[in-house]
Amino acid sequence: MTQPVDYLANETWTVGDVTITKVVESSGPFPIELLDPIVGAERVRSVKTGPSWQRPYYLSGNDEICTPVHSFLIQTPTKRIVVDTGVGDDRERDFEGFRMLKSGYLDRFGAVWDPESVDYVVSTHLHVDHCGWNTRLENARWVPTFPNARYLFIKAEYDAWKALAADPDASRLWDPTPYMMLDIERLFSESMLPIHEAGLVDWTEPDAVLTPEVRLIPTHGHTPGHVSVLVESGGQSTVMSGDLFHGACQVAHPEWHDQLDIDRPKGMLTRAGFLERFADTSTMVLFTHIGPSPAAYIKREGGSYRLEPAGA
């Protein structure tokens, strides 16, 4: 008998002198149709009908997938770095799955670190599920959750969302459902602007070296300033991909764009380059929205790619 999966449990990996802990905001099995507005219903149908390495780990017999939202907490010998900060509690959001969450995230985070001890906050990009906990609600005001941290914003990324938040016609860029999921105006005023106004932003290059072990990799396309985070220490390495992939099906089909990709041709090229770079290497990938565990190795297979769960 298999043990039930605790989708909210923290997971920890060691990379040389660095420790990485996953703190979950939300997770759980969902019908694969959840990906319809992301990669398209026709593609989702094709995943369900074909034999695939995705079963049963990434796609259950009930055609369910796991689409977690979580943070990675990187402890280097000298710094504490948070990568991605989820949706956040108490938010009025258009997308039901993100609305007025009471997630317990800060309790799970607090079991690992005191938020006041964080040195850097990095968002792979500034979508609604990656920068929400930049702030928290206190006396009806949005205040920095990590008051002693420097928030490392990529300028092109911040400027893009600032411009879109101010542009009432921004929705012309997207199909209605994906655009609704982003909730740009509220997100900018609640999770980006208060950080800027608090003077906590460090404008950061997309290939910046944060510590001797941690560096950013430009992986633009999904958004204008999207980055991945590479950790190398003691001959070991891991890379946090961000949202280059929303589902395991995009590993097999890097040409399948994401409806939320702001530059779809570039997103496809970036995905293909990422797979080419890390396939059949010892670098473990930590995904955002692929689970139950986000840790996997990329393997070449039959002119395409597959994932091998790191715990397998």
Q: Which residues bind Zn ion (CB under 5 A)?
A: 129, 243
Which residue lies nearer to Zn ion by CB, 129 or 190?
129
CB 21, min distance to Zn ion, A: 19
CB 53, min distance to Zn ion, A: 23
Q: Which residue has the tokens 């099906």?
A: 249
Tokens for 310? 């790191």
CB 127, min distance to Zn ion, A: 5
Cβ pair 243, 130 in contact under 8 A: yes
Q: Please give the full DSSP string across 25-66, using - where no structure is assigned.
A: EE--EEEGGGGHHHH-HHHHHHHHHS--TTTTTTS-TTSEEE
Distance CA 37, CA 186 (A): 21
CB 295, min distance to Zn ion, A: 17
Beta sheet of 120-122, edge-to-edge order:
11-15, 18-26, 69-75, 80-83, 120-122, 150-153, 201-203
Which residue lies nearer to Zn ion by CB, 87 or 214?
87
Which residue lies nearer to Zn ion by CB, 84 or 213?
84
Give me the sign of the Cα torsion angle 54, 250, 152, 162: negative
Please give the span between the terminal C-alpha atoms of the chain, in angstroms, as a whole number: 17
CB 112, min distance to Zn ion, A: 21
Q: How far is CA 289 from CA 74, 115, 144, 223, 301, in A?
A: 18, 23, 25, 16, 22
Which residue lies nearer to Zn ion by CB, 18 or 222?
222
Which residue lies nearer to Zn ion by CB, 129 or 183?
129
Distance CA 309, CA 296 (A): 4
Which residue lies nearer to Zn ion by CB, 129 or 213?
129
CB 246, min distance to Zn ion, A: 7
CB 289, min distance to Zn ion, A: 6
Tokens for 174? 């997207």
Q: How far is CA 258 from CA 157, 173, 250, 285, in A?
A: 18, 13, 9, 19
CB 164, min distance to Zn ion, A: 17
Which residue lies nearer to Zn ion by CB, 11 or 129?
129
Distance CA 213, CA 250 (A): 29
Which residue lies nearer to Zn ion by CB, 11 or 243?
243
Q: Which residues contact 296 (CB under 8 A, 6 or more apart)?
A: 284, 285, 287, 290, 307, 308, 309, 310
Which residue lies nearer to Zn ion by CB, 233 or 270?
270
Overall residue count recorded for the chain in this entry? 312
CB 29, min distance to Zn ion, A: 18
Question: CA triplet 66, 121, 263: central angle to 5 degrees?
Answer: 60
